[in-house]
Amino acid sequence: MALATSDRGSWSSRTGFILAAAGSAVGLGNIWRFPYTAGENGGGAWVLIYLVFVLLIGIPVLLAELSIGRKTKLNPVGSFEALTKSKFWPWVGGLGVLTGFGILAFYAVVAGWTLAYVYEAVTGAFAGSISAEQSSAIFSNIISNPGLAILLTGLFLLLTILVVRGGVSKGIEKTTKVLMPLLVIILVILAFRSVTLPGGMAGLSYLFAPDFSKLTGTGIMTALGQALFSLSLGMGAMITYGSYFPDDANLPASGVQVAFFDTAIAVLAGIIIFPALFSAGVAPDGGAGLVFVVLPTIFGSLPAGNLFAIAFYALLAIAALTSTISLLEVCVSYFVDNRGWSREKAAWILGAVCFGLAIPSALANGASPFFSDFLGSGFDFLTIQNNLWGNFSLTIGAILICVFVGWIWGVDKALGSIESSGHSMAGKALFRILIRFVCPAAILAVLIFIVITGNFF
């Protein structure tokens, strides 16, 4: 194993880490994926299960991943190599690197749509009030245009490469520091506007009043997948980010803060989307286009709505960028640490390969009939990638990380790494039980259930 430490880096401070980790966690997962998945799965009951998964599985797995990275100061593959002699576990790290790549190859497509929306907003498309039908026409014009969809995907990957090649602390920390608080302000204003729309309250009760008759096996699976996806877990992003964690900083507090912040942003996005959706008479199970179609219907009813639209889509694009950076970073850190590549070379080559793999997903929303109904499955290629990498692969990764920390490396060693700066963690006994028993059993139960019922998507 060749260790190229010179091309590694470290966050300049605990705040730097929190910003970067929150930057990875907060992204399209919160604002695009959470609302539409909640809408497809009946709302309140699904949201409740999601919150339970964040608390019982998300936070322990997050701490477990950070503890591994902080201990080894390596990428996911190198981390497992450093902590065991077994040949099996580094493959789990390898699955993480592959998953990061798989996620990036569809995430960049949706992130590209946000760039088109910045353009639309700047050119005044959302200046007046528009109906849900008009909004939906704007959306499908963008996503079904093959040249445009490929161009936008490529542009987004290019932006990602340009930040990642500059290294972790310089590139990532600075981008996030100013813009994250701004995103929160815009979201809060939009939430106020949305809940005060006529008929908006029905949206809030859809989001928060649980109706368990609407919960399906697939819903439970996607709630788990979404909890992992949203917190960037199950594929080593947090192992990688933990590897840059300052030695003297408080890890448990930082991890929990990131988890709460990420969840708050997702719920806030729900509070914006659902009232607006009920007010505009759009169906909640509209699928992946939901956020893009619903939001433009409320900008027109805000004073200076067009400025809001510009700010919102620009910030959404940046939130997506701080997530794509972490996805590419996992892959780059592996090639830098273990293969001795330079950061520059790894960023360009991996980014370019990912672009090639993203093209089918870019064409999957009407541009190509083949990819829009992939092999006659009734699912478009982007949705298939989203489920495969963004739900299944993360779920498998998360269970393996729990088994590794709980039973192979050992909870005491993980706690030693978590508390290595002298900041002690509350609830150690609970963490032990969760990571050894509750998390693996719950994840396994969900997986078995899915296999038995065959409700994969």
Considering only residues 36, 117, 229, 245, which one is a binding residue for ligand PHE as defined by CB under 6 A? 229
DSSP state of 363: T
39 binds ligand PHE (CB under 6 A): no
Structure tokens at 359: 């093209």
| Nearest Cα residue to 389 out of 59, 17, 100 | 100
Among 9, 16, 23, 29, binds ligand PHE (CB under 6 A): 29
Which window, 6-14, 323-331, 397-405, 430-438, contacts ligand PHE (CB under 6 A)?
323-331
The smaller minimum CB distance to ligand PHE, of residues 229 and 379, is found at 229
Tell me the three state secondary structure of residue 253.
helix
What is the spatial distance between Cα 409 and Cα 92, in angstroms, rounded to a whole number?
Answer: 14
Q: Interface mask (CB under 6 A) for ligand PHE, residues 101-140, using x and -?
A: --x-------------------------------------
Quick check: 25 binds ligand PHE (CB under 6 A)?
Answer: yes
Q: Which residue has the tokens 């993203």?
A: 358
Q: Please, are residues 242 and 41 in contact by the beta-carbon 8 Å criterion?
A: no
The span from the CA of 170 to the CA of 190, in Å, is: 31
Query: How far apart, in whole angstroms, are the C-alpha atoms of residue 390 and residue 387?
Result: 5
Alpha-carbon separation of residue 197 from 139, 272, 441 (angstroms): 23, 10, 43
By C-beta, is 24 or 175 nearer to ligand PHE?
24
How many CA atoms lie within 13 Å of 271's alpha carbon, on the beta-carbon side? 17
- # binding residues, ligand PHE (CB under 6 A): 15
Residue 2 burial by CB count (10 A; 0-12/13-18/19+): exposed, middle or buried?
exposed
Interface residue with ligand PHE, options 63, 130, 227, 237 (CB under 6 A): 237
Out of 75, 135, 230, 338, name the contact with ligand PHE by CB under 6 A.
230
DSSP 292-344: HHHTHHHHTTSTTHHHHHHHHHHHHHHHHHHHHHHHHHHHHHHHHHHH---HH
Residue (260 or 449) nearer to ligand PHE, CB: 260
Does the footprint of ligand PHE cover residue 28 (CB under 6 A)?
A: yes
Name the minimum Å distance from CB 76 to ligand PHE. 11
- What's the angle, vertex CA 394, arms to CA 36 and CA 451, rounded to 5? 85
Least separation, in Å, of the C-beta of 286 and ligand PHE? 20
The answer to the question of residue 323 lying near ligand PHE (CB under 6 A) is: yes
Position among 14, 22, 23, 24 found at the interface with ligand PHE (CB under 6 A): 24
- Residue from 114, 254, 326, 333 in contact with ligand PHE (CB under 6 A): 326
Contacts with ligand PHE by CB under 6 A lie at: 24-25, 27-30, 103, 229-230, 232, 235, 237, 323, 326-327
